[in-house]
Amino acid sequence: MAFEAHNLADGFGRRFSYVRLSVTEVCNFRCTYCLPDGWKKTGPLSFLTPSEIANLASAFAGVGVTKFRLTGGEPSVRPDLIDIIANLAAVDGVKKIAMTTNGWNLDQRVNRWRNAGLSHLNVSVDSLDRETFRTITGHDKLPAVMAGIDTALGLDFAAVKMNAVLLRSTANTGFDTWAEFVRERPVAVRFIELMRTGDNAEYFAANYVKGSIVTDWLEERGWAPQDKHKDGGPAVEYAHPDYAGRIGLIAPYAAGFCDGCNRLRVTARGKLRLCLFGEGGCDLRDLLQDAEDKEPLTRRIAQALSGKAAGHRLHENLPGDLLHLAQLGG
């Protein structure tokens, strides 16, 4: 029996309309919380091709997925990124194509990404202080990244957002600079709680701070939480009448964080991951060569969903087999 649209659901009644697709494991930054020693090659760089990605997207779209987010590593290190975006944009049923990038070449390339079909853009910026940014990322690139964000804001993206990992050191400096940044810019800044991974235990213990430090600050100053979009991610965003932009929080350690999960992940080598903090994965790549018959692929995806757990086990310091965020795209 063929699967019909909107049939991707797990045993807890959660439906999935959003796929986070890693297109590479390679990253050119050395962020302290992810790859402090830089990315190191561990095997052949046999990542999904643009045609395989198009077939994957077509199958997912046929069962109700409408949003794809390209992640890495750093997706813009791929020379064929334009082809990947254009292929996704050509798939019937795909309404949103987002990408998360560190912004290292944003100013030079963002216009081409937009023209190819990218509709939503997230840029990782962990600090607005140049020296702090250099310390965290290993690169003195903040001026160039910020120039790229301003360029992106001049284009007709549906949304431009910024992600900042919440660290004890940066949280202690407060959020006034961020609020001033979004006063005149229609950009959403989302702070992400630091997450425990397989190789950052000591760093996590020294740098983790609860996300409530953000929400308490916002609520004390009259910011109000906004409703989430149906196919949105896990962020809770706050708005204020005096500011053009928003400030939000992604808090994976908060109670009920996984209850409304609507997203699946596919690795750069073609494995379906049911949770960022799970283990193993369901290999899809052997079924990505057929551009016509999608039923074997959609059947395998739907069957794999029966194994999706109710939630992650981060509270037990169990990150699954996730060594670092670049491994699966965060």
pLDDT given for residue 329 in this prediction? 62
Q: Could you tell me the strand order of the sheet in which 263-266 lies? A: 224-225, 236-239, 246-250, 188-193, 159-166, 120-124, 96-101, 67-71, 18-22, 263-266, 271-273, 282-283
pLDDT given for residue 328 in this prediction? 66
CATH topology of domain 18-177+259-327: TIM Barrel (3.20.20)
Distance CA 265, CA 304 (A): 12
Global confidence as pTM = 0.93
Are residues 19 and 72 in contact, defined by beta-carbon separation less than 8 angstroms? Answer: no
3-state secondary structure of 329: coil
pLDDT digits (tens, 9 = 90+) for 24-79: 999 999 999 999 888 888 778 899 999 999 999 999 999 999 999 999 999 999 99
Distance CA 316, CA 270 (A): 29
> In the chain, what are the domain boundaries?
18-177+259-327
Which residues of the chain fall below pLDDT 70? 1-6, 318, 327-330
Are residues 118 and 156 in contact, defined by beta-carbon separation less than 8 angstroms? Answer: no
215 token code pair: 């929400």
pLDDT given for residue 5 in this prediction? 44
Class of residue 321 by CB neighbours under 10 A (exposed 0-12, middle 13-18, buried 19+): middle
CA distances from 172 to 8, 162, 176, 249, 262 (A): 42, 19, 11, 16, 33
pLDDT given for residue 1 in this prediction? 40
pLDDT given for residue 321 in this prediction? 75
Distance CA 21, CA 49 (A): 12
